[in-house]
Amino acid sequence: MRFALLTASVCVVALLNGGCAGTMLPGHMYTTGRVLQFSIQTSYGNGKMEAYDPESGERFTGEYSGFYEGQDAVYGTVGNQKVALVKPPTGANAFGVLIGDKATTIRLHFKITPGLRPTGYGIGSDENGNRYEVFF
């Protein structure tokens, strides 16, 4: 019984976090006067990111790691059955790095909202002091 409840809880959390891990979500990255194409992988804690700057032709690849917030679990017994009630996460904070093929490094911090299609906002900067805002 405990395994069945735990499995059901994991499935609910997976659904709230975008279904299947590995799907790339499209977005945009904004910096002074430019819009970069951006995508981030749905995951259970860490995943890939990609970006492309059509003005400079620079392609970026990288990764991020996220940390759930608002998640909780309560364990107990009802009658003679052990039960687990899981509150899914209300969001996540994540940190990531994108490395460009022309040597630009962008460090990002994200606030992510779970859902059937997770959404998020990120801010960051590169080694030259350029600031970036990301939406997906």
Question: Considering the domain boundaries, does residue 11 fall inside one?
Answer: no
For residue 1, what pLDDT is reported?
45
Question: Considering the domain boundaries, does residue 100 fall inside one?
Answer: yes
DSSP string, 4-53: HHHHHHHHHHHHHBTSSTTPEEEEEEEETTEEEEEEEE--SSEEEEEEE-
Question: Considering the domain boundaries, does residue 109 fall inside one?
Answer: yes
Alpha-carbon gap, residue 136 to 49, rounded angstroms: 11
For residue 114, what pLDDT is reported?
87
Question: Considering the domain boundaries, does residue 28 fall inside one?
Answer: yes
Q: Does the pLDDT at position 88 exceed 50?
A: yes
Question: Considering the domain boundaries, does residue 45 fall inside one?
Answer: yes
Q: Give the tens place of pLDDT for each residue, 26-81.
A: 999 999 999 999 999 998 889 999 999 999 999 999 999 999 898 888 898 989 99
- Which range of residues forms the domain containing residue 112? 22-70+90-135
Question: Considering the domain boundaries, does residue 14 fall inside one?
Answer: no
DSSP 55: T
Question: Considering the domain boundaries, does residue 114 fall inside one?
Answer: yes
Q: Does the pLDDT at position 15 exceed 70?
A: no
Supply the pTM of this predicted model: 0.76
Question: Considering the domain boundaries, does residue 128 fall inside one?
Answer: yes
Total structural domains within the chain:
1
